[in-house]
Structure 1
Amino acid sequence: MGLFSKEEKREFLDMIEKRRTIYDLKPASPISDQEIEKIITEVIKHTPSAFNSQSTRIVLLLNDNHKKLWDLTTESLRDIMGDADFTATQQKMDGFKNAYGTVLFFEDQNVVKGLQEQFPIFADNFPTWAHHTNAMHQLALWTAFSERELGASLQHYNGVIDEKVYATFDISSDWELVAQMPFGAIGSPAGTKEINSISERLIVKK
């Protein structure tokens, strides 16, 4: 029988296809805060990690804490941009702030350093593998949110907002900030996705 001989066999790939970057987010959620927390918990429990390191850390920001994140991000970017036109950036920040919540993704550097000490032959690889682990958590959560009709996008203001995030939310600086995921009810769907030629991206050798 073929791989997709039954409709239900496509379910996982359908979920992967459904996951899209949504920028038009509304300050509402089709599911409860408790269900959001449960989804994140299951993702943390079951997403694989190199050497079973379980190094990924996640912080869920809701309500005023979510808004604080995008206020401090706006302030940080204003400081960097100085007198440059801030209009487009402000619109982008307002859009993220208008979402329902934000997920922060971190990697615990104490775990990474511990593995480097335990397995010195692989020491140079563990930071890279930690980011692979984090990326798998990002995709898993993004896909799970999408399946429950929560839109999301993935942002990377780490390197700009790190110290303010640690101080504002009382988070250890041993946790390396990797990404930010604003999420909420979908205001408008994503547009058509341009997919590059698969023949240039996939090689099959038999």
Structure 2
Amino acid sequence: MNQALELFAKRRTQYALGKNVSLPQSEIEQIIKQAVRLAPSSFNSQSSRAVILFGAESVKFWDATREILRGVTPADKFDSTSKKMDSFAAGVGTVLFFEDQDTIKKLQADFPLYADAFPKFAEHSAGMAQFAVWTALAAAGIGASLQHYSPLVDEMVQKTWNVPANWQLSAQMPFGSNEAPFGDKSFIDDSIRFKTFAG
């Protein structure tokens, strides 16, 4: 198999996270930073931003998210929601992904012909940065999942970690050791997904 495809196949959703990661925090931080740096972006805008939370700071995020969700989750459903927060907090850390809205606005001003498209382009950039980080972590033997608790947690994040107002939160990625095996991944039939034409 192609080496890149082998890495993509390693990237799986892991909810059973732990703290049994051998890599030092500094090395994990560099993996995350380099993955975001290398992720492509429209017009090389480099609009993606990240806040990396380790240890108690990651737990703080998931505890605060739990309390926010308590206010909007039906009481009979909250226990399962709370257990999800526990599973995310059980890892080594969390990456908070953002897109810099000032960068997007500057692109809109500089290239007015594409102004309406730049917010969508930024979503593409965000997805590629998230996939790059997730794959890089998987290659290092670190499990992760991608979560979406915006906009509920946006104000809390901005205040707690002094995040610039122009950074818009797009996703959250808890990560840690893989404490459970991955099941088989199923795929829909290729005939549903692909069409190939050749001259």
Q: Same fold (TM over 0.5)?
A: yes
For 1:169 and 1:46, the matched residues in 2 are separated by 25
Q: Which amino acid aligns with 2:102?
A: N
Across the aligned residues of Structure 1 and Structure 2, the Cα RMSD in angstroms comes to 1.1
Question: Number of residue pairs matched?
Answer: 198
What is the match of residue 37 of structure 1? 29
- Contact preservation (8 Å) 1:30, 1:150: no
What is the match of residue 110 of structure 1? 102
Q: Which amino acid aligns with 2:187?
A: I
Shift, 1:99, TM fit:
1.1
| Equivalent residue in structure 1 for 2:144, among 143, 147, 152 | 152
**Pairing 1:15–2:7 present:** yes
For 1:85 and 1:16, the matched residues in 2 are separated by 34
- Contact preservation (8 Å) 1:56, 1:108: yes
**Pairing 1:122–2:114 present:** yes
The two structures have a TM-score, normalised by structure 2, of 0.96
- Contact preservation (8 Å) 2:149, 2:172: yes
Q: Secondary structure at the match of 1:191?
A: coil
**Pairing 1:46–2:38 present:** yes
- Contact preservation (8 Å) 2:143, 2:178: yes
Shift, 1:175, TM fit:
0.3
**Pairing 1:194–2:182 present:** no
The CA deviation string for residues 36-77 of structure 1, in whole angstroms up to 9 with x for no partner, is 111122112221110010000011000111011001110110
**Pairing 1:88–2:57 present:** no
For 1:153 and 1:102, the matched residues in 2 are separated by 10
**Pairing 1:132–2:149 present:** no
The CA deviation string for residues 21-50 of structure 1, in whole angstroms up to 9 with x for no partner, is 011000232211111111122112221110
Gaps of at least 5 residues in structure 1 are 5-9
The CA deviation string for residues 181-206 of structure 1, in whole angstroms up to 9 with x for no partner, is 00000001221111111111011011
The percent of aligned pairs where both chains have the same amino acid is: 43
Q: Which runs of 4+ in 1 moved over 2 A?
A: 82-85
Q: Which amino acid aligns with 2:47?
A: S
Q: Which amino acid aligns with 1:75?
A: E
